[in-house]
Amino acid sequence: MFRLKRLMVLRHPNPMAFEASTVANFIGTSRRRRHEGEEEMLFLPSQRTTYRFLDIFRMGDKAYIEKERARLSDEMSRGYFADMSDLKKHGGKIAMASNTIIPAMEAVKFPSLEVNYSDGTCLNLPATSQENADKPDKMAIPGASLVCLSFRASSQGMIDSWSVPFVDAFSASKNVRIFEVSFIESWFLSLNPIKWLLLRIMRKSKTDGKNDVLQRQLVYSFGDKYYFRKELKILNLLTGYIFLLDRFGRIRWQGFGLATEEELKSLVSCASLLLKEK
């Protein structure tokens, strides 16, 4: 069993070049997962702030400045305490999941997202039949994909409440995939040397699920994801977000927070319908 006792990090003389609190949170936060009867330890980053710098070569671009000003105002209007307040009110259940599948004509495309496996392999989500039709070397495109988004360690229990029953329901299916995406938005932790170090720390044989019948994938997304979150209308970073995608990468069903029995029945039913679609 892979265990990381301690990671020693030297403080950089320039405080702006090193996010001490972010690294401390990363080191101190972990999640437990059972895989084939073995308990494993995986790190789930829990950073608070994404540090960014304005592009000095675009300082004369009024549209760029206005866009950054609007973003700054938006990010300052909502922080950790607002997320925590909402979490206390509804426990992460932002809304109840729909009982029916979203019609294909009304469904919107899941935003493009680059993720990494713990071995460093890169993948672009969503993988669609249209985009990969001319790439026979790629893995088969699933008829249904469950994408679980986790921005903080506190939401891992919520993610498990959806993914574990989903695995049980489709354990023998070769046409279904699960992606559990952990986000690491810190600019420091997203730097290539640090990024590859973290991936190496999190690497362990058979932890990413590449060889599972269900094609369950544990992946990590690095870097600023503000506009990705805006596109999906994600505000509270302390809860979990669940998306059921069809083979074309369209969002056909969505869930939040902890799963209820009725919502799980709805999820399984909608995924079964997607598998029957031509």
Q: Identify whether residues 62 and 119 lie together within a single domain.
A: no
User: Under DSSP, is residue 85 helix (H, G, I), strand (E, B) or coil?
Assistant: helix
64 and 112 fall within a common domain: no
Q: Is residue 224 part of a domain?
A: yes
Residue 78 confidence (pLDDT): 67
In a domain, 256, yes or no: yes
Q: Which of 35, 34, 31, 58 is nearest to 43 (CA)?
A: 31
> Which of 181, 199, 189 shows the shortest CA–CA distance to 49?
189
Residue-number span of the structural domain to which 224 is assigned? 91-130+141-276
Say if residue 157 is in the same domain as residue 220: yes
pLDDT computed for residue 278 by the predictor: 74
What is the spatial distance between Cα 194 and Cα 17, in angstroms, rounded to a whole number? Answer: 13
Range list of H helices, the chain: 20-28, 62-76, 80-90, 156-169, 192-202, 226-231, 261-276
First vs last C-alpha separation in the chain: 43
Instruction: Look up residue 23 and give its two tokens.
Output: 């690294």
**pLDDT (0 to 100) of residue 8:** 34
Going through 18-164 in order, the beta strands assigned E by DSSP cover 30-35, 38-43, 113-116, 122-125, 144-150
Give the residue carrying structure tokens 């938005």. Answer: 185
Alpha carbons 240 and 75: distance in angstroms, whole number: 19
The reported pTM is 0.72
- What pLDDT, on the 0 to 100 scale, is given for residue 76? 64
The structural domain count of the chain equals: 2
The pLDDT assigned to 169 comes to: 94
Rounded to the nearest 10 degrees, what angle do helices 261-276 and 156-169 cross at? 50
Per DSSP, the residues of 170-188 read TTT-SSEEEEEEEEE--TT
- Rg for the chain, CA atoms, rounded: 19
**Residues 69 and 185 grouped into a single domain:** no
Give the number of other CB atoms < 10 A from CB of residue 112: 12
Residues 103, 158, single domain; the answer is yes
Report helix, strand or coil for 195: helix
pLDDT of residue 75: 67
Q: How far is residue 169's CA from residue 244's CA, in Å, rounded to a whole number?
A: 14
* Residue 63, in any domain of the structure: yes
Q: Is residue 64 part of a domain?
A: yes
Residues of the chain with pLDDT under 70: 1-60, 64, 67-68, 70-80, 129-139, 204-213, 215
Residues 176 and 121 in one domain: yes
Vertex 163: Cα angle to 179 and 274 (nearest 5):
70
CA 261 to chain CA mean position, Å = 23
Residues 116, 231: one domain?
yes
Same domain, 257 and 154: yes
Residue 28 confidence (pLDDT): 38
pLDDT of residue 217: 87
Give the CA count within 13 Å in the CB-facing half-sphere of 7. Answer: 19
Q: What is the dihedral of CA 75, 77, 78, 80, to 10 degrees?
A: 90
Closest CA to 152 of 225, 224, 240: 240
Residue 95 and residue 97: Cα distance in Å, rounded? Answer: 6
